Amino acid sequence: MKYVSVSETLRGGDPMHQTARRFFGVLAIAGFSLLPRFADANEPVTLGVVTWIGYGPIYCAAANGYYKKYGLEVKLINFSDNSVMAGALQSGEINATTLTYDQVIAANARGWKLKVVMPVDYSVGGDAILASAQIQSIKDLKGRKVAFMSASPSDFLLGYALSKDGLSERDIHPVNTTPEGVVGIMAGGSVDVGVSYEPNVSVIVKSGGGKRFHVLLSSRDARGMITDVLVLKDSVIGKNPKLVEGLIRGTMDGLAFMQAQPAQASAIIAKTLEISPAEVREQLPNIENPTLPRLGDVFRKSDALPSFYASGKIIGDILKKEGQIDSAPPIEATYDATFVAALQAGSGG
C-alpha cells in the first residue's frame, strides 16, 4: 500500500486522533498547491483519506492491491485535517477523496461540482446525545442547555433528533464547544446534555461510576445521518469513468476481504490507524460499511434515512442557519448514482 502523509504539512502539528477526523469545520476548503498534480494516465491515482475506522475497506483494498485489478495504482494521501480535503479535490491536487456528506453540500453551495459516487460508511453508534439520569426523552430537552459543536455532525445528529419529536434548536439553549469539550462541561455540571462521539461518549457514560449520564440517542438510531462518502469532481467523472468504476469495485473488494478475513483485516486497519487489532474490533461495531445490495440506499428519493434527500435537508437547513452557506444545492446535484447502479445490476444486486 502506498500511503503518503501530509498531516504535518497541513497542520504543523501532531496528526489528529483517528476518531476526531470530522470535526474541524465544514467550510475551511480553500485550495492549495502542496501536492503534485497527476495528469498522466500512468501516474498514481491519489485518494485523500483520514485515519478513520470507517475507511477499513479502502485500507484493505490498498494494502492487498485490489485497485490494481482494475488498472489503478492508488496512492492514499493521509490528511490530518479533513476540512481542507474538498479544496484539494477542487483544485486538482488529488484525484478523489473521502468526505462527510455535509462537506459535499457545503462545497457545492459555493458552486463547486463535487459528486458522491458511493457511501463508504455510516456512523451507527459512534456519535451520541448524552444526558443526565433525569432526562429520559428528546422532548425533555426543551428549555435545557445542550453542549455541542455547531455546524458539525454533532449538530446534524441533534437536529435530526429534535425534528423527529417536533422540536428545533430554538427550543433548546445551545452551548457551543468542541466534541472533546463536551466531556469537561458535562463532568463539571454546567450542562445536563451534550453531543459528542467516541471515545468521548464512553468517557462520559462511565463517569461517576456509570450512574450520572446515559445515551439518550445515538447514531445507531439515525443510520445515515452521518455518512462518509467517496467523492470526485464532476469533470473527472465525465472524462474518466473507468477511474470511478475501479475505485468503487476495489473498495467493495476490500469490504469483502474484511468480511471473509476479519483477523487479517483488523491487522491491516490497526497498522494504518496505529492502534491495536483489539481496538479495531472494539470500534468496528460503531460504524457500518454498506454492502452492495444497500449501497444505493443513499441515492433514493425518500424522506427516510439513509437517503441523502432526508439527511441533506437537515444538513442544509443547519448550515444556512449557521451562516455557513447562503442556499443549499439541489440534492440530485451532489451525487452520481450510475456507477453503483451498474455494479448492482451486474451482480443482480
* Burial bucket for residue 285 (CB in 10 Å: 0-12, 13-18, 19+): exposed
Quote the CA–CA distance of 326 and 30 in Å, as a whole number. Answer: 17
Per-residue pLDDT, 349: 58
Task: Give the mean model confidence (pLDDT) for residues 208-221.
Answer: 95
Per-residue pLDDT, 40: 44
pLDDT category of residue 259 using cuts at 50, 70 and 90:
very high
Cell of 331: 440534492
22, 159, 199, 208, 235 from 281: Cα distances, Å: 21, 30, 14, 26, 38
Are 94 and 185 spatial neighbours (Cβ–Cβ below 8 Å)? Answer: no
pTM of the full structure = 0.85
The H or E element containing residue 131 is strand 127-132
Are 72 and 51 spatial neighbours (Cβ–Cβ below 8 Å)? Answer: no
Give backbone dihedrals phi and psi of 174, rounded to 5 degrees, phi first: -65, 140
Q: Rounded to the nearest 10 degrees, how much is the dihedral formed by the CA atoms of 117, 119, 120, 126?
A: 150
Per-residue pLDDT, 167: 95
pLDDT of 237 > 60? The answer is yes
Residue-by-residue DSSP string for 44-71 = PEEEEE-S-GGGHHHHHHHHHTTGGGGT
Quote the CA–CA distance of 260 and 257 in Å, as a whole number. Answer: 5
pLDDT of 82 > 60? The answer is yes
Q: Which tens digits make up the pLDDT trace of 19-36? A: 445 544 444 433 333 443
